[in-house]
Structure 1
Amino acid sequence: MNGGVSDLTVWFVIIVLGIGTFLIRWSFLGALGDRPLPGWVLRMLRYTPVAVLPALVAPLVMWPEATQGQPDPARLSAAAATLLVGVLSKNVILAILAGGITLFGMLYVLG
């Protein structure tokens, strides 16, 4: 059932990964939590969401599972509308609404 891997090996991997993720989080929260960070670090951290969000969304737009990995006009239009409204209005909620309305509208029109 588990591909020939022993139960002991599976539990060992789970425990080691749990300790590893704990130490990664502790390194920021426990070790640095009560100290002020330098200004240059805070400036760099401001760009984290801007870098991570497109990396999460781009594969869903360019290679969606709903179309067997083929880009389609509905998702590309929704991404363009979201980007355009976001840049022009600087309002995240309006950008999300514009993208959602565009996506559902295009899916309805295109069938």
Structure 2
Amino acid sequence: MTDAVIWTVILALGVGTFLIRFSFLGLIGTRPMPPLVLRLLRYTPVAVLPGLVAPLVVWPAATGGAPEPARLCAAAVALAVGLWTRSVIPAVLAGFATLYLGLWLTGAF
């Protein structure tokens, strides 16, 4: 690829990203949103977070894509603590502690 093609792609992606964000913030940012839209937007983080975390647990890059018991246990503990406490911080701390304990016990740490 030539430099001109690369810069054209970069600029096109930048303009596209700007237009996507501007469509929400610039065009309808000052108008009140319908209650249905507000209710549906509440579920966006709940829908996106598992999609970001699941590949890191099931196919971690640290093991070459092979599932590892320490990461699976840490994810299960974090999920259980999150359901039990209904709070993110204790869930993350419990998962963190379980992961490092599991890695230490298996000798991977």
Give the aligned residue type for 1:36.
Answer: P
How far, CA to CA, are the matches of 2:25 and 2:39 in structure 1?
18
CA RMSD of aligned residues (A): 0.5
What's 2:69 paired with?
Answer: 73
Query: In structure 1, what residue type is equivalent to 2:89?
Result: I
Counterpart for residue 56 of structure 1: 52
If the length of structure 2 is used for normalisation, what is the TM-score?
A: 0.97
Using the TM superposition, give the Cα deviation of residue 9 of structure 1 relative to its aligned residue in structure 2, in angstroms. 0.9
Report deviation, 1:6: 1.2
The SS at the match of 1:11 is: helix
- Provide the residue aligned with 2:95 in structure 1: 99
Q: Distance in 2 between matches of 1:68 and 1:16?
A: 34
Q: Secondary structure of the equivalent of 1:13?
A: helix
1:46 aligns with 2:25: no
**Alpha-carbon displacement from aligned partner over 1:38-94 (angstroms, at most 9, x marks no partner):** 000000000000010000000000000111101011000000000000001101100
Alignment partner, residue 5 of structure 2:
9
Between the two proteins, the alignment pairs up a number of residues equal to: 107
Distance, in Å, in 1 between the alignment partners of 2:41 and 2:87 is 21
Length-normalised TM-score, structure 1: 0.95
| Aligned residue number for residue 19 of structure 1 | 15
Tell me what 2:30 maps to.
Answer: 34
Structure 2: runs of 5 or more not aligned? none
Runs of 4+ in 1 over 2 A off after TM superposition: none
CA distance in 2 between counterparts of 1:75 and 1:92 reads 18
Q: Which region of structure 1 is more displaced relative to structure 2, 25-34 or 5-14? A: 5-14
